[in-house]
Amino acid sequence: MTQFLQQIINGLSLGSIYALIALGYTMVYGILKLINFAHGEVFMVGAYTGYYAAGALGIAAFEERHQSFPLYLALLVLIAAMAAAALLGVLIELFAYRPVRNAPRLTPLITAIGMSLFLQNAAMLVFSPNPRRYPAVLSEVRFELFGVIVTNIKLTIFVVALSLMLGLHLFVQRTWTGRAMRALSFNIDAAKLMGIDTNRVIRSTFAIGSALAAAGGILFGLDQITINPLMGVLTGLKAFVAAVLGGIGSIPGAVVGGLLIGLAEQLTAGYLSPEYRDAITFVILILILLLKPEGLLGVVRVEKV
């Protein structure tokens, strides 16, 4: 029972990272019907920006003196990474996706694959292909709760992810831009006819999705200790599956899907074999496409001629 609870705790914290990344996939897909393959790489760049930001803020000195990194500096790291990723997301949209937005379906898809591949390999050149130990932006405190080991890191991951998602929810529901985003995902042409500056709204969508992915990147670094330039490939794939599982285009769906994928992965690793932890996501994807392709919280859309 304690082992089960332990896996649940680990699964929820991993799942909330997937959920953060899945939000970016689902928002972009909802509006542009494009699988933004480069999103996993934005997540990776976010993690690296956090790494360098923490370095620039002198984390090495704190680690040497066994002091914990001050919280306001940790927040600064988070904000720097989110800002850098938002900028990257906007640039990708501007240079790679906007010129092909009205091209035949395959063109933007291939561009997205190309962008993802470019960022992966450019990152290997710039950051070196070797994995790096992630700086302890948050020093670990362990405590026991009903026999289950909980760390403050897992709790922080969960809380930070949840508050960001709550913030996104309020943004999408309560602000003008949020309402415009919903209008675009409902019908982009009609939204344009209503005088919405679609370019501006799409730009904000990319900025927000990328910032959330960067937050996910920092949390991932905290959780997994190491980062590498290819970390976005498999994690991005899992987050995309999370978005499909929850119903692509649906924001609450991405959250539910992310948490479920995290749980499934941890339970597989704990009870079956750690080797299959990556394969389970793929099995889930196949099952969901076979049984309920619109996802758990998605709406069935009738295709019209």
Partner 1 sequence: MRRMLLRSAVGVVVLIAIYGLGFGVEAGFTEYVQRIILLAGVNIILAVGLNLINGTTGQFSIGHAGFMAVGAYAAAFVGVKIAPGLHGLLGTGSVADAVVFNLALLAGALFAGISGLIVGMPSLRLRGDYLAVVTLGFGEIIRILFNNATFLGAATGYFGDSPSGLPAYTTFFWVYAWVAAIVVLIHNLTFSQTGRSLIAIREDEIAAEAMATPTTRLKVTAFAISAATAGIAGGLFAHMQAGVRPEDFRFEKSIDMVVMIIVGGLGSISGAVLGGIFVAVSLELMRDLQQYRLVLYALLLVVIMLVRPQGLLGNRELYQLARKPKPPSTPMEGM
Binding site for partner 1 (CB under 8 A): 33, 35, 37, 96, 99-100, 102-111, 113-115, 117-118, 120-122, 124-125, 187-189, 233-234, 237, 240-241, 244, 275, 278-279, 281-282, 285-286, 289-290, 293, 303-305
Burial of 245 (0-12, 13-18, 19+ CB in 10 A): buried
Q: Which is nearer to partner 1, 66 or 304 (CB)?
A: 304
Instruction: For partner 1, give the closer residue by CB, 71 or 283.
Output: 283
Count of H helices and E strands in the chain? 12, 4
Smallest distance, partner 1 to C-beta of residue 117, A: 4
- Give the separation between CA 184 and CA 218, rounded to whole angstroms: 30
Question: What minimum distance in Å lies between the beta carbon of 99 and partner 1?
Answer: 5
DSSP letter for 275, please: G
Please state, as a whole number, how many other Cβ atoms lie within 10 Å of the Cβ of residue 76. Answer: 15
Minimum distance of partner 1 from residue 157's CB (angstroms): 25
Q: Which is nearer to partner 1, 108 or 135 (CB)?
A: 108
**Of 60 and 234, CB closest to partner 1:** 234
Sign of CA dihedral 270, 272, 274, 279: negative
Name the amino acid, one letter, at 190: A
Q: How far is the CB of 302 from partner 1 (least distance, A)?
A: 11
Q: Cβ(213)–Cβ(85) under 8 Å?
A: yes
Query: Residue 182 in contact with residue 172, Cβ under 8 Å?
Result: yes
Give the shortest CB-274-to-partner 1 separation in angstroms.
Answer: 11
Indicate the residue among 6 and 228 with the shorter CB distance to partner 1. Answer: 228
Residue 1, SS3 per DSSP = coil
149 phi and psi angles, rounded to 5 deg: -85, 120
Show the DSSP H helices in 93-175 as ranges.
106-127, 152-174
Residue 23 Cβ vs partner 1, minimum distance, rounded to whole Å: 17
The residue (of 17 and 241) whose beta carbon lies closer to partner 1 is: 241
Give the nearest distance from C-beta 304 to partner 1 in angstroms.
8
The two tokens of residue 105 are 């379906």
Rg (alpha carbons) of the chain, rounded to whole number: 19
Of 105, 123, 99, 102, which is closest to residue 40 (Cα–Cα)? 123
